[in-house]
């Protein structure tokens, strides 16, 4: 079964909009795990507009499943990850002012940089993953960095699926198979939701983990967090 890691950034966004500690990010992470999710994902950004760096530290004893920290590997981020030592670090090439992640790494252009960063994380027993587009050359480039996994950036699939075009999954199926053949695990995330997740999972038999935040938290406003987590788990079975 593909693991479900829930990105709780949006819960932190709601908390920060009012100040104080409502909703409680730590309690939400605990509850989400109790509801059956197999992981918690956070993506702290330099301006801390949603998840704060202190949240990353405070979550460490709370997360008893897989703990995944995403982000651009600037020095501040690298230092945080080495301090917290999550289960997995996912490297994302987002700019400082990005609203959300919008592209995968050019793993050829940035190979040496990624190789150096990944080596440091792996030396500290932190599993590594690189955010990539479903492009053959980028997956091959990722393999050359020594990363443990890739995370396929799924926005293009989600857009095509919403238009009724299921063929949009083909590049993902092909690059996932390639990654597996090259010895890398395959994760996926971005714009996956209750409507498009099951088909995506069916077409990628090697898929190890999905990271889902915006859609899941939004759907929970209508259907309840526990119920929605269970609905996602059902689609991954």
Whether 190 is catalytic is yes
Total structural domains within the chain? 1
Q: What is the mean pLDDT of residues 73-90?
A: 97
In the prediction, which pLDDT does 94 show? 77
66: closest CA among 226, 197, 187? Answer: 187
Determine which one of 50, 66, 190, 219 is catalytic: 190
Q: Could you report the per-residue pLDDT of 173-218, keeping only the tens digit for each?
A: 999 999 999 999 999 999 999 999 999 999 999 999 999 999 999 9
Residue 37 sits in a domain whose CATH number is 3.20.20.70
Average pLDDT of the residues in 55-68: 98
Active site residue: 70, 151, 209, 219, which one? 70
Q: What value does the mean pLDDT take over residues 126-143?
A: 98
Q: What is the mean pLDDT of residues 51-60?
A: 98
Residue 110 bears catalytic tag:
no
Whether 189 and 212 have beta carbons less than 8 Å apart is answered as yes
Tell me which residue has tokens 């938290």: 217
Residue 144 has pLDDT above 70, yes or no: yes
Q: Per the structure block, which two tokens stand in for 154?
A: 């799924």
Confidence of residue 102 (pLDDT cuts 50, 70, 90): low
Q: pLDDT for 107-126, tens place per residue? A: 999 999 999 999 999 999 99
Residues in the chain: 237
The pLDDT of residue 79 is above 70: yes
Please identify which of the residues 43, 66, 151, 209 carries the catalytic annotation. Answer: 43
Rounded to 5°, angle at Cα 16 from 10 and 18: 120
Task: Identify the domain containing residue 67 by its residue range.
Answer: 3-236
Average pLDDT, the chain: 95
pLDDT of 96 above 60: no
Choice among 12-21, 74-83, 100-109, 227-236 with the minimum mean pLDDT: 100-109
Amino acid 99: pLDDT: 46
Indicate whether 87 pLDDT > 60: yes
* 43 noted as active-site residue: yes
């Amino acid at each position: 079964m593909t693991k479900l890691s829930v990105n709780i950034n949006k819960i932190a966004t709601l908390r920060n909009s009012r100040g104080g500690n409502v909703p409680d990010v730590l309690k939400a992470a605990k509850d989400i795990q109790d509801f059956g999710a197999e992981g918690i994902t956070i993506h702290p950004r330099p301006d801390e507009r949603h998840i704060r760096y202190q949240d990353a530290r405070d979550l460490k004893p709370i997360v008893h499943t897989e703990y995944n920290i995403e982000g651009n590997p600037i020095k501040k981020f690298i230092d945080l990850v080495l301090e917290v030592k999550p289960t997995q670090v996912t490297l994302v090439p987002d700019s400082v002012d990005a609203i959300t992640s919008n592209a995968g790494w050019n793993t050829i252009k940035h190979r040496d940089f990624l190789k150096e960063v990944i080596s440091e994380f792996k030396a500290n027993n932190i599993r590594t993953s690189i955010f990539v587009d479903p492009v053959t050359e980028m997956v091959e480039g990722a393999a050359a960095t020594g990363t443990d996994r890739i995370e396929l950036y799924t926005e293009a699939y989600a857009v095509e699926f919403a238009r009724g075009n299921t063929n949009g999954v083909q590049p993902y199926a092909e690059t996932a198979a390639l990654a597996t053949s090259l010895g890398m695990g395959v994760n996926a995330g971005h714009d996956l939701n209750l409507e498009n997740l099951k088909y995506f999972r069916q077409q990628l038999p090697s898929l190890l983990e999905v990271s889902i935040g915006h859609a899941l938290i939004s759907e929970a406003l209508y259907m309840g967090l526990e119920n929605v987590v269970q609905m996602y788990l059902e689609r991954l079975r």
